[in-house]
Amino acid sequence: MITGELKGKVSRVWDAFWSGGISNPLEVIEQITYLLFIRRLDDMDTLAEKKGWSRFKNEEPAVMYKTVADKVFPFLRNLGSDGSTYSEHMKDARFTIPTPQLLSRVVDMLDEIPMADRDTNGDLYEYLLSKIASAGVNGQFRTPRHIIKLMVDMVAPQPSDEICDPACGTAGFLVAAAEYVRDEHPSVLTDTAQRKHYHASMFHGCDFDATMLRIASMNMLMHGIESPDIRYRDSLSEGVSEDVEKYTLVLANPPFAGSLDYESTSKDLQRVVKTKKTELLFLALFLKLLKPGGRAAVIVPDGVLFGSSKAHKDLRRLLIEDQKLDGVVKLPSGVFRPYAGVSTAILLFTKTNSGGTDHVWFYDVHADGFSLDDKRNPIDADDLPDVRSRWAKKTTTELPRSRTEQSFCVPKADIVAQGYDLSLNRYQESVDVEMVYRPPLEIIDDVSELETEIVQRLSILKAMLS
């Protein structure tokens, strides 16, 4: 978490943009990201003798503005001009800060923000993204970083994984996976083969928003990934044949916009489940993308768990009978506030093409460490550490736990008997607590004593006022 002082500095940068005439939150984020990226490249010596940030930060506003517009941005647009996906997105980078005065103010403010620590960089960027105060178009909204971290921890990415987010947005899942691998498997930075895989072929992201792709690319590079595969794709509308069974791990919180036309939907996905519902089509997509043995942790709206349509039931049956459904983590409805109050769950599954579901592990998250209102202030109550701990023991100590507990396992046969319903309250049992009441006559005696005391005190008060 970044400090209040650092938050204040970032907020002042944000306010400067708004007062300077840029009011589109995404454009503000993009322009700030460009400047942070230039500074980060400078710190990494990537600009070599050009030293973009050091070169222009002390210049007069008019000179600074001309330097950025005529030299720095053309450099960015050609950076990595080697056919990489990064260079493909950056070729359209636009400098839209309207005046030299605004640029000078923003550069001075950003120069005061510490960026030496990788974790601070991540927290800083996350706070910037949190400044977007409403959901985007097409059902897009930001996934909280601590929820992303929970999902990454649960699937535990390995150095050999090929990781995909087919609706990557700003690449939050890919960044978190990269940090996990780097922290848990330091050999990815020392072993030659692992290092090459880590930088060039481990991380894959798709989105259909060009601005998001640029931000995602810069985000990955700022976190030390040299050549991530970040591509333009409307994942549900294009054929997925080129990526079938290509990845070992899918992490995603795709946008759920409701329904699509059959004509605009991939026929490959329609063969898995015939539906217009985007949440079901994305699940079909995840199964297509995964290699046998590949695993997934993805966020779905609650309706996926209990929807009664044929498509809903068919897809749940597919996950349970043909694949291996490992877990369902029910999230509280306030997790995505202030963007949306939608109720969601995390589905964890393994692609086997041969079944394997014996038990499904359920966890009912009541608190995630933040208030569940629009303010999302930090609080003491937090179930997420317990989720991690119990997930690790789901095949041992979790199996015998009662369904009255916060987490428990349900045999496949019970789920089949319930028509493949995966809603937690279908299986969770309540605890009947026997209430012991005092005898009625004893209560009446107490009331009489209170009444007598009241009369006495009223008499005393009346005498004092006479």
Structure confidence at residue 138 as a pLDDT band (50, 70, 90) = very low
287-305 mean pLDDT:
96
Going by pLDDT thresholds of 50, 70 and 90, the confidence category of residue 267 is: confident
How many C-beta atoms surround the C-beta of residue 433 within 10 A? Answer: 6
| Predicted local distance difference test score (pLDDT) of residue 48 | 47
Average pLDDT of the residues of the chain: 87
Range 451-464 average pLDDT: 90
Domain ranges of the chain: 4-121, 138-426
**344-389 pLDDT, tens per residue?**
999 999 999 999 999 999 999 999 999 999 888 999 999 999 999 9
**Model-level pTM?**
0.84
Alpha carbon separation from 312 to 307, 339, 440 (Å, rounded): 5, 26, 54
Q: How confident is the model at residue 134 (pLDDT cuts 50, 70, 90)?
A: very low
Q: What residue has token string 């990845």?
A: 247
CATH class, range 4-121? mainly alpha
Burial of 413 (0-12, 13-18, 19+ CB in 10 A): exposed
- Omega cis (within 30) before 411: no
Report the Cα 12 to chain-centroid distance in Å.
Answer: 26
Chain-centroid distance of CA 94 in Å reads: 27
Percent of the chain whose predicted confidence (pLDDT) is above 90: 53
Give the pLDDT confidence of 188-232 residue by residue, as tens digits.
Answer: 999 999 999 999 999 999 988 888 888 888 888 878 888 899 988
Short-list 327, 345, 319, CA closest to 395? 327
Name residues whose C-beta falls within 8 Å of residue 428's C-beta, 6 or more positions apart in sequence: 362, 364, 403, 404, 408
pLDDT of 25-35, one tens digit each?
A: 888 888 988 88
Q: Can you read off the two tokens belonging to residue 237?
A: 């509308």
User: Quick one: average pLDDT of 445-463?
Assistant: 91
Contacts of 454 (CB under 8 A, 6+ apart): none
The CATH number fitting domain 138-426, selected from 3.30.1380.10, 3.40.640.10, 3.40.50.720, 3.40.50.150: 3.40.50.150
Whole-angstrom distance, CA of residue 77 vs CA of residue 69:
11
Q: Measured between alpha carbons, how far is 319 from 286 in angstroms, rounded to an integer?
A: 11
